[in-house]
Structure 1
Amino acid sequence: MTDYSFMVPFVPLRPQQLLPYAALAQWSSTRCMWQGQAAASDPMQTFTYAAAQGFQTPVGTSVQLMPFCHPFDATLRARSLAAGTGQPVVAGFGPGAKVLQRSLLGAPYRSQLGAVRDYLTIVRSLLETGKADYEGEFYSCRNTVPPMPLPAIELGVGILRPRMAELAGELSDVAISWLTPAAYLRDTVIPALRRGAEKAGRPAPRVAALVPVALSKPERDVIQLALTSNAGHMTLPHYIDMLRRSGIDVNMEESPENSAKALLAGGAFLYGDRSELKDRLKEFEDAGVDEIVLNLTGVAGLEGKQVALREIETLLREVAP
């Protein structure tokens, strides 16, 4: 059975802003509370703050960007998060856009797949054995971490295209997608995950799909909702390529409005009443997604955090099975 979770649909500027969402995660049927990477605050610290206030819930990061820290530091942060919350953690990582890599590292990774392989190999070794002895082209590590009693830490990787999905099948516990239509996951991503897992002789990772979604209301402008939620991603080459592979042609320079309409028509952004959303989300379940993460960043951005919180609650109660 597919689990349902939600993403905190804004970047907390103060950790206190997270607490109503953490309370919802604690008492609802959600599997996990997720946050993404941002420059304004660190999700691992805000998650730990919420736990210290009494709201202890499983959490997921989606996706921490590799250029921000060395894999040894990433391991320490994931372990500290699990210790601080006392709950299971999905520690998700990804290389980010080439423009980000250039801004922080001086140049993009020569190979995105090679950098991810180095990074995940080191983190996996440290999490599972407490030591790493690895020399890679992009990341190396010869160090140890002390043994600690910790809740489960699942190693995640962001996936958009088949070659990264195949690598995730080899190395990760959780494959994390963003803005990916159900049919594309079914026909392209999940088969690639299985190929990678089969090659490595291990079980395929579970799939967590972060799905942009909003309930239809007479006063809402669905085009603005879709753009508020996804405009930044629709300007990045790797997202543009993934969307085109899934049959969605976006061109933000030429027409943001037509790009938003293409997202809606292609099932990358879901909009409808409760019955319609239930049917559309069922497509992700049928595609083989193990965890659907409701992403209401468009609602939060246009109508505020409290409106988004109430809508997540409604969706979890009336749309999720």
Structure 2
Amino acid sequence: MTELSVLIPFVPRRLEQVLPFAGLVNWTSAARLWQGQSMVLEPHQTFVGVAGAGFRVPAGLGVTLMPLRNPFEAATQARSVALATGHPVTAGFGTGAVQFQRNILGSAYSSPLNTARAYVTAVRSLLDGELVQSDGTEFTLTGQLPPAVAPRVDVGLGVLRPGMARLAGEVADAVITWLTPPSYLKDVLVPAVAEGMKKAGRTRRPRIIAMVPVGVRRDETDPERLALASNLAHLQAPHYQDMLRRAGADIGDGNDVHQAARAVVDTGGFVTGDLDDVLKGLDAYQQAGADEIVLNTTGVNKMFGSPEALADLRTILKAHQ
């Protein structure tokens, strides 16, 4: 059965904000606590701090951005979380938007696919105790992590489109999607992962992890508003708009975020409705091939606060058992 996990549905500013969500993972059937890239409280430090507060729960980083750190630093940080929590970690990486690459590095990656291949391969090799030597155009590295007995760190790759999915099938331990409708996951991304596996001669498929925005319907709002509260920035980003068009979502020219939000709801990329509707929406991801679904209640948290987000998570997790 597909695992359900929990995303921290806000950018934390204090560790105590995260503790109720860590407690939820600790005390329910949730598999992992996830956080994406944060420019406020750094995600690796968040997980280590939460472990120090008494919640040593499995962690997922989905995703941190490659321009921010050398692969050696990335491997060190991910293993540090595994050591601090005492649990396996899924460390996902993404190239980030083109403008973000320019802002941090001075120029965009000449080939995001080549960069992702080199980066993920380097992090995996470092975590396996190997000496890595690279003098590529995107990063320079000669190093080897000092030995340490630690829980395993799986290296994941953020995936929106077929090219990155094929690459993940070749080199990654996990495929991490965000806002991808279940039909697109099933018909486009999963087959592309299989193509990559075949090319690399791999027999074990990377875990498919779907970050799914979700919220139980409330009388005082509508699905479109909830979807906008959850994903406004993503719905305006060119690479997400391209993915949604490929998925058959009618987002028009991309300038009308309300139209885009309606399209995401219509294609099942935002899961909402009553509890039965939500469970059916999540089952569509399981049928599409997801091994793990990360419940993203960001929209609920923004509109109604953390107590309501936690209530939705508890309800969904209990009903899914």
TM-score normalised by L of structure 2: 0.97
Corresponding position of 2:122 = 122
Q: For residues 7-33 of structure 1, what are the alpha-carbon distances to aligned partners after superposition, in whole Å with 9 as ceiling and x for unaligned?
A: 110111011111111011011001111
Q: For residues 257-314 of structure 1, what are the alpha-carbon distances to aligned partners after superposition, in whole Å with 9 as ceiling and x for unaligned?
A: 2221111111111111111111111111111110011111000011111211111111
Corresponding position of 2:301 = 300
Corresponding position of 1:89 = 89
Corresponding position of 2:291 = 290
What SS is found at the alignment partner of 2:185? helix
Corresponding position of 2:311 = 310
Structure 2 counterpart of 1:74, one-letter code: A
Aligned partners of 1:27, 1:201: CA distance in 2, in Å? Answer: 40
Structure 2 counterpart of 1:231, one-letter code: L
Corresponding position of 2:186 = 186
| Aligned 8 A contact 1:225 1:302 in 2 | yes
Give the alignment's Cα RMSD to 1 decimal: 1.2
Percent identity, aligned pairs only, is 44
What SS is found at the alignment partner of 1:243? helix
Aligned partners of 1:295, 1:27: CA distance in 2, in Å? Answer: 18
| Higher deviation after alignment, 135-144 or 88-97 | 135-144
What SS is found at the alignment partner of 1:231? helix
Offset of 1:44 from its aligned partner? 0.8
| Aligned 8 A contact 1:160 1:177 in 2 | yes
What SS is found at the alignment partner of 1:38? coil
Corresponding position of 1:236 = 237
- Describe the shift of the 1:52–1:161 C-alpha distance in structure 2 as closer, same or farther (beyond 3 A): same
Aligned partners of 2:93, 2:121: CA distance in 1, in Å? Answer: 12
- Describe the shift of the 1:41–1:5 C-alpha distance in structure 2 as closer, same or farther (beyond 3 A): same
Offset of 1:220 from its aligned partner? 2.0
| Aligned 8 A contact 1:235 1:252 in 2 | no
Map residues 248-267 of structure 1 onto 2, 5 A cutoff.
248-250=249-251, 254-267=255-268
What SS is found at the alignment partner of 1:96? coil
What SS is found at the alignment partner of 1:261? helix
Q: For residues 25-74 of structure 1, what are the alpha-carbon distances to aligned partners after superposition, in whole Å with 9 as ceiling and x for unaligned?
A: 01100111100102111111111111111111111001000011111110
Corresponding position of 1:70 = 70
Corresponding position of 1:212 = 213
Map residues 41-190 of structure 1 onto 2, 5 A cutoff.
41-190=41-190
| Aligned 8 A contact 2:2 2:290 in 1 | yes
Corresponding position of 2:25 = 25
Offset of 1:130 from its aligned partner? 3.7
| Aligned 8 A contact 2:101 2:107 in 1 | yes
In the alignment, structure 2 segments of 5+ residues that lack a partner are: none
In the alignment, structure 1 segments of 5+ residues that lack a partner are: none
Aligned partners of 2:144, 2:310: CA distance in 1, in Å? Answer: 41
| Aligned 8 A contact 2:235 2:261 in 1 | no
| Aligned 8 A contact 1:82 1:151 in 2 | yes
Offset of 1:253 from its aligned partner? 6.1
| Aligned 8 A contact 2:50 2:56 in 1 | yes
| Aligned 8 A contact 1:234 1:252 in 2 | no
Q: For residues 153-187 of structure 1, what are the alpha-carbon distances to aligned partners after superposition, in whole Å with 9 as ceiling and x for unaligned?
A: 10011000000000001111110000001110100
